[in-house]
Homo-oligomer: A and B are copies of this chain.
Amino acid sequence: MSDSKNISIKDVAKHANVSTATVSHVINGTRFVSEETKRKVHQAMDDLNYRINSVARSLRSRKSHVIAFLAPILASETSNYFFMSVAAGIQSVLKQHRYHLVLSDSHEEEEYETDEIRMLGSQMIDGLIMAPSSRGLDYERLFGDYPVVYLDRVPSDSERDCVVVDNKTVSKEAVQTLIGKGHKRIAYISGPNTLTTTEERFAGYLEALSEAGLEAASELISMGEVSLNSGYKLAETLMVHEPTAIFVSDNVMAMGVMFYLQEKQIHVPGQVAVVAYDEFQWTRITSPPLTVIEQPAFELGVKAAEVMLDRIDNADAPVQEHRLNAKLIVRQSI
């Protein structure tokens, strides 16, 4: 069943009466080989059931064809499906270029994150796409000699390619829509304001209010841990101050908010309107269906992967920043 000895390019060469160079060139199509010889080589490869050793190839060619994606993606509790969609986008383009994707979970914690970066080492990946969990950390110190593309979030002093979402514009639009419907007491729920994304969303919220001549009431603004429970709790404490609308800047927290409102039989949008971040299938089956901000998650991944491949091909090209637009999907919750 399994050949005890691994058969290599040498065995193939011998079996086909050619040199290893020729075999290699046949495999990679990297120089002209006569049809006749090609045939012999392919025959030999079939006969011996040859499989290329990509590790040896990587060592010699200094390319692993592996891209790592580091984000808070797998943690089971706070499962943020957003990054899974991103991963799907990344994979879709990597696959076309015969690259592999290795997933690392940062748990949204600096320690896990640095640990993962260290584990990735230097030569095992050709590039790193990451959603940094912190803005302040000196990531550069940790990176190996591979290109890095920041996704969704960007550390403060980054000189790297990045692809992000235009959070401010869409958040502003969402809040303006609420204002347009007559809401004046619009609450804001989000995770800790430590990420660029969160900050931008908040900025959009504030700007919409101020442009409408409304004041941002501090008792209507609450930030906490990103989790269903936390969303539940924050909704609970917020409702005491009688908002007529809630803007939730995170989809996991949004579940918590909806959980609370439903449990307490608070009518949406009658008693309180809700608009939340992220369009996922579940947002369509709450009652009522949620008004959401749809981030181009898949496209974010696609773009990041493309930028990464560009960067690999051309290390000296100017740094790119891509800002993708998000979309407000209005449903019955407002």
Contacts and interface: CB of A to CB of B under 8 A. Distances in A.
A81 B102 CA distance: 18
Interface stretch (A20-28, A86-94, A129-137, A165-173): A86-94
A119 B98 contact: yes
A55 B120 CA distance: 11
A100 interface: yes
Contact of A286 (B91, B145, B286): B286
Contact of A55 (B58, B89, B262): B58
Interface string A116-155: 0001111110000000000000000000110000000000
A259 B286 contact: no
Report how many copies the assembly holds: 2
B287 A102 contact: no
17 contacts: A2-B145, A52-B122, A53-B121, A53-B123, A54-B124, A55-B55, A55-B58, A55-B59, A55-B123, A76-B85, A76-B298, A81-B81, A81-B84, A228-B284, A255-B282, A255-B284, A262-B285
Interface of A: 2-3, 6, 51-56, 58-59, 64, 66, 73-76, 79, 81, 84-85, 87-89, 91, 95, 98, 100-105, 119-124, 144-145, 228, 252, 255, 258-259, 262, 280-282, 284-287, 298
